[in-house]
Amino acid sequence: MNGNAHIKAVYAEIRRRNQGEVEFHQAAAEVLDSLGPALDRHPEYAGTGILERLCEPERQLIFRVPWVDDSGTVRVNRGFRVEFNSALGPYKGGLRFHPSVNLGIVKFLGFEQIFKNALTGMGIGGGKGGSDFDPKGRSDAEIMRFCQSFMTELYRHLGEHTDVPAGDIGVGAREIGYLFGQYKRITNRYESGVLTGKPVAWGGSHVRTEATGYGAVYFAEAMLATRGDGFHGRRVVVSGSGNVAVYAVEKVHALGGRVVACSDSSGYVVDEDGIDLGLLKDVKEVRGARISVYAEAKPSARFSARGTVYDVPCDVALPCATQNELGREDAVALVKNGVIAVAEGANMPCTPDAMAVFQEAGVLFGPGKAANAGGVATSALEMRQNAARDSWTFEETEARLASVMREVHAECRATAEAYGGNPEDYVLGANAAGFLRVARAMTAQGVV
């Protein structure tokens, strides 16, 4: 851990008070590691407990989610919502349904969300939630009953001015629909802005589905542009094949790049002709099949159950699957094969070791809290449309997303240069810029 004695003491206290929450420790260390220069320049934040308060969620909810499966058996899952920081606006952050979900994972995601949301400049606080419920293989009726039970507890903590969840891994438009329906029934309010990621037909925003993937590609494009480069003619690998990954592939292709590999948790496919987006969407979004089915349908593609997409030579890598999926060895392989830029579509996909490898090699590296901020930024645009009972066109919404991503990129660069001297240190830039916005608001609002 870098930084002054104060930062080290805060980190030691995080580890002591949150034992076993390894992902939260990792996320906190990454941010705290960057804050030395900002705290040196702003000693006023040292005496007001800003760091201590930032690292302690305002509220943490853990609740039972009982539901009945199709065979009549009662199942019990655990629900979480961590309302981390509301200095800049209502808590905002997605819900993740995945068997790996635990308090440490929800806290790491909620902590990241504070800085990411601050970076968007859109007046949203940080939070995250989810459940260890595994939606894989569950019927539509089971998903609905689970969502209804989850919301039967969570509704009392939500509100368009209080806490506004969205989707994440395992939670898409279908789940948001069931959650919204139950919220509306319990509260007797059609409160459109209480959840984002709704279908466009009833209060959702155009481009929300595409936003995180598109945004990550816009961010990578902005990084490349600083070196007079772009996606045109570039080889790209994308990990995952879920919401973020699919739309990252779509935007890379639109910009003239060629995505040659993508994955899911069962393995990866390489397609030197370029990933066929129509086929990928059919396999993953329509059929809900394993990624190997893509290779079975396309002669130019091969499937591998071993290794990762990072074994495939590329110019740009976009990790869009899950936390800690890209380790030191993957980073070394990417650098050896000549990667020039890495932008995190997922949250914390690169381990600290991997980040160090990229930094040492001079690879352009966009951390998730900046590179994947397009999703939550478009959620904030959805909230604006809901508040105004308005609906913007796809083109207008995408133009706003692109502009937010350019601003986030510029802010990271300017802050990195001002506080560390190296404009390409996007990690320092994102962490310090997000921190300063939240710290200013927290200071003005007193010790609460």
Residues serving a catalytic function are 128
Task: Candidates 127, 135, 242, 434: give the one binding ligand NDP (CB under 6 A).
Answer: 242
Long-range contacts of 333-339 (CB under 8 A, 24+ apart): 334/310, 334/358, 334/363, 335/361, 335/363, 337/313, 338/313, 339/314, 339/315, 339/363
Q: Does residue 434 belong to the site contacting ligand NDP (CB under 6 A)? A: no
Q: Does residue 135 belong to the site contacting ligand NDP (CB under 6 A)? A: no
Q: Does residue 100 belong to the site contacting ligand NDP (CB under 6 A)? A: no
Question: Would you give the distance in Å from CA 448 to the centre of its chain?
Answer: 27
Q: Does residue 265 belong to the site contacting ligand NDP (CB under 6 A)? A: yes
Nearer to ligand NDP, 86 or 243 (CB): 243
Nearer to ligand NDP, 82 or 245 (CB): 245
Q: Does residue 266 belong to the site contacting ligand NDP (CB under 6 A)? A: yes
Residue ranges of the alpha helices (H) in 62-172? 103-120, 140-154
Least Å distance between CB 245 and ligand NDP?
6
* Segment interacting with ligand NDP, rule: CB under 6 A, options 10-18, 46-54, 84-92, 166-174: 166-174
Task: Candidates 32, 169, 236, 269: give the one binding ligand NDP (CB under 6 A).
Answer: 169
**Segment 14-43, which members bind ligand NDP (CB under 6 A)?**
none
CA atoms of 64 and 365, how far apart (whole Å): 40
Q: Which residues contact 168 (CB under 8 A, 6 or more apart)?
A: 94, 95, 96, 109, 128, 130
The tokens 């993508």 sit on which residue? 262
- Which residue, among 333, 319, 140, has the nearest Cα to 245 in the 3D structure? 319
Least Å distance between CB 27 and ligand NDP?
12
Alpha carbon distances (Å) from 206 to 72, 76, 99, 165, 442? 39, 35, 30, 18, 33
- Give the relative orientation of helices 103-120 and 22-34 as an angle to the nearest 10 degrees: 30
Least Å distance between CB 184 and ligand NDP?
23
Binding mask 39-78 for ligand NDP (x = CB under 6 A): ----------------------------------------
Nearer to ligand NDP, 86 or 372 (CB): 372
CA atoms of 352 and 234, how far apart (whole Å): 26
One-letter identity of residue 431: N
Nearer to ligand NDP, 53 or 328 (CB): 328
Q: Does residue 221 belong to the site contacting ligand NDP (CB under 6 A)? A: no
Q: Does residue 167 belong to the site contacting ligand NDP (CB under 6 A)? A: yes
Beta strand 125-131 with 91-97 is parallel
Least Å distance between CB 100 and ligand NDP?
9
Nearer to ligand NDP, 7 or 101 (CB): 101
* Segment interacting with ligand NDP, rule: CB under 6 A, options 42-50, 56-64, 218-226, 234-242: 234-242
Least Å distance between CB 340 and ligand NDP?
22
Task: Candidates 196, 347, 351, 397: give the one binding ligand NDP (CB under 6 A).
Answer: 347
Least Å distance between CB 216 and ligand NDP?
9
Q: Does residue 226 belong to the site contacting ligand NDP (CB under 6 A)? A: no
Q: Does residue 321 belong to the site contacting ligand NDP (CB under 6 A)? A: yes
CA atoms of 404 and 119, how far apart (whole Å): 9
Task: Candidates 51, 346, 354, 383: give the one binding ligand NDP (CB under 6 A).
Answer: 346
Q: Which residues contact 314 (CB under 8 A, 6 or more apart)?
A: 234, 235, 236, 237, 260, 261, 334, 337, 339
Q: Does residue 237 belong to the site contacting ligand NDP (CB under 6 A)? A: no
Q: Does residue 241 belong to the site contacting ligand NDP (CB under 6 A)? A: yes
Question: Would you give the distance in Å from CA 271 to the centre of its chain?
Answer: 26
Total binding residues toward ligand NDP, as defined by CB under 6 A: 25
Nearer to ligand NDP, 205 or 241 (CB): 241
CA atoms of 101 and 65, how far apart (whole Å): 14
**Segment 322-341, which members bind ligand NDP (CB under 6 A)?**
322, 325
Alpha carbon distances (Å) from 288 to 95, 131, 277, 292? 20, 21, 15, 12
Least Å distance between CB 347 and ligand NDP?
4
- Which residue, among 366, 374, 373, 334, has the nearest Cα to 349 in the 3D structure? 366
Nearer to ligand NDP, 104 or 167 (CB): 167
Alpha-carbon dihedral of residues 333, 336, 337, 343, nearest 10 degrees?
Answer: 70
Beta strand 258-264 with 163-166 is unpaired
- Give the relative orientation of helices 208-225 and 394-420 as an angle to the nearest 10 degrees: 40
Q: Does residue 210 belong to the site contacting ligand NDP (CB under 6 A)? A: no
φ/ψ of 335, rounded to 5, equals: -65, -45
Interface residues with ligand NDP (CB under 6 A)? 167-170, 212, 239-245, 263-266, 320-322, 325, 345-347, 372, 375
